Structure 1
């Protein structure tokens, strides 16, 4: 269904390019905003405008937002390396390999956990959107480690609430550049989409509250191995907060990591692994905890640092 919006340009966007203003107002990428403008879906004070036009506060903005493309329907598709750590009538815990997203999304053509489980014959709850059956939390495509999914409706609602109320113990290990000072601490800084609209996230005033606790496990000459405990679960949270400390995750080119160090250690993605997951079982009530060993690429990088 097409969405028509009309509003005055806020004071805070005075002098911004139209595509940048559109991106900030509607949470779009700059590219998507430019496409809408080029297609004649944006008018300023009753006339068509160009993406590079500067907007004035109080000008009347009329926007036609086409319906977002629907996510693809999940289909059984084997996923090499996807491992079931635990399964019972209500939940399934998996160890997610590199290059796999949680569920199918618009524009992603690679494998997903959801489709891999369907190929294994695992029946997930139908709660939530069709393309996100059983998904109660997610990991980035190139972040490896533990995910829990719901197989029953009861488990889905209990787990969703547990993640929302921050009662799930989510532990990650990450290798970061340099040595954080202090060696342990908390980053409490709001996160939202980066103003550039290029898909990154950033610490942004007025963003969503985000809290990351870190502790140094082992320090090397050029890097530190940290244990991370998340209170919140924002997109790219660990990667953004480590970058904000000026100690980006090794290999995380998107957030400013040194490509030379990553290449020397043989790391082709961010060194970040969901190592432990603990929660109260959603139907039995007993505490459960699961652990995942480092995948080969991450383990090899740490060994190389120890040898150095």
Structure 2
């Protein structure tokens, strides 16, 4: 299914009683797998939308099939184009609000911060989480960041998944942001992660170069597919524990869910990964993935500097438990 999305900001809806400003995200899909109900088809295509919310969009005429309003029970046909408009709440388009949330600062100078992001925290606001993100915390402690980069992602150079912990670089000035973005684009940055995976990869070290794109069947996921964007992941085995293995993983590119998708693609998904690992974990409620090393040229001096972070408490408990079990 081909998908396109565009965001139309500050549209104005008029009725007889009031004027309301809002934002709309618009999606388009071409049907390649016919026979499904319209609401079911869209529930598999649209990330973060439940079937009931999609039925509500259809009822309010925000969904069209070949330009015509349709019913939720309509069976889609090959070649049809489906358009969906999703109105967004004001708090999803307005600048994030500062919130007094804790930050773990690893390094700071006049141009940047290195923070150690905890698991369970989104980097910036989005649909379903307009507050309690890393950006909300940054704006409280560093108000001037509101003038650096995009209003919804001030100072953000790169991202980590919500349930991935570890090091992130935050630009404190617009000049530093451009400098760091160029380093990330030129792939001169060192990015290394601890990852605990199912089984024992063979060979013990290797390079994975599968392209990554949106999963054509389940749009909520990414997948290793030929039509995706180039993605390069290197790994080295550090510890073997029989049924699981601790890897030191390096990224040359930075695709969405890259390590999680690549390891699943070679048959060794991350322990605790609730999306790409079919085997549920009894030892960890989130993926075992931690960004432990980040190296790049400091914007203010040009010196290449490497920052490191040890395993957080939850992952270290799992690691220590595996060591003790192996020694028995």
Q: Same fold (TM over 0.5)?
A: yes
Q: Distance in 2 between matches of 1:258 and 1:62?
A: 34
Q: Distance in 2 between matches of 1:210 and 1:33?
A: 33
Higher RCO (C-alpha under 8 Å, 6+ residues apart) = 1
Is the contact made by 1:28 and 1:197 (CA closer than 8 Å) also made in structure 2?
A: no
Residue 324 of structure 2 aligns with which residue? 307
Please report how far the alpha carbon of residue 40 of structure 1 lies from its aligned counterpart in structure 2 after TM superposition: 2.0
Q: Distance in 1 between matches of 2:164 and 2:79?
A: 44
TM normalised by structure 2 equals 0.80
The answer on 1:112 being equivalent to 2:129 is no
Question: 3-state SS of the aligned residue for 1:123?
Answer: helix
Q: Which moved more, 1:16-25 or 1:93-102?
A: 16-25
Deviation sequence 1:108-149 (CA, Å, 0-9, x none) = 156222222233346326233212000010111111110001
The answer on 1:172 being equivalent to 2:189 is no
- Shift of the 236–34 alpha-carbon distance from structure 1 to 2, 3 Å rule, reads farther
Deviation sequence 1:159-200 (CA, Å, 0-9, x none) = 112112211111111111110111111221222233455632
The answer on 1:296 being equivalent to 2:313 is yes
Please report how far the alpha carbon of residue 269 of structure 1 lies from its aligned counterpart in structure 2 after TM superposition: 1.1
Question: 3-state SS of the aligned residue for 2:114?
Answer: strand
- Shift of the 282–22 alpha-carbon distance from structure 1 to 2, 3 Å rule, reads same
The answer on 1:94 being equivalent to 2:111 is no
Is the contact made by 2:31 and 2:76 (CA closer than 8 Å) also made in structure 1?
A: no
- Shift of the 4–232 alpha-carbon distance from structure 1 to 2, 3 Å rule, reads closer
Please report how far the alpha carbon of residue 245 of structure 1 lies from its aligned counterpart in structure 2 after TM superposition: 1.7
Residue 73 of structure 1 aligns with which residue? 95
Question: 3-state SS of the aligned residue for 1:225?
Answer: strand
* Aligned partner (choices 127, 150, 164) of residue 143 of structure 1: 164
The answer on 1:63 being equivalent to 2:80 is no
Residue 287 of structure 1 aligns with which residue? 304
- Shift of the 275–251 alpha-carbon distance from structure 1 to 2, 3 Å rule, reads same
* Aligned partner (choices 261, 275, 289) of residue 240 of structure 1: 261
Please report how far the alpha carbon of residue 76 of structure 1 lies from its aligned counterpart in structure 2 after TM superposition: 2.5
Q: Distance in 1 between matches of 2:99 and 2:192?
A: 29
Is the contact made by 1:93 and 1:149 (CA closer than 8 Å) also made in structure 2?
A: yes
- Shift of the 25–217 alpha-carbon distance from structure 1 to 2, 3 Å rule, reads closer
Residue 85 of structure 1 aligns with which residue? 106
Is the contact made by 1:99 and 1:111 (CA closer than 8 Å) also made in structure 2?
A: no
Please report how far the alpha carbon of residue 275 of structure 1 lies from its aligned counterpart in structure 2 after TM superposition: 0.1
Q: Which runs of no fewer than 5 residues in structure 2 stay unpaired?
A: 1-7, 12-23
Q: Which moved more, 1:216-225 or 1:203-212?
A: 203-212
Q: Distance in 1 between matches of 2:229 and 2:39?
A: 23
Please report how far the alpha carbon of residue 257 of structure 1 lies from its aligned counterpart in structure 2 after TM superposition: 5.1
Q: Distance in 1 between matches of 2:130 and 2:65?
A: 37
Residue 59 of structure 2 aligns with which residue? 38
Please report how far the alpha carbon of residue 84 of structure 1 lies from its aligned counterpart in structure 2 after TM superposition: 0.5
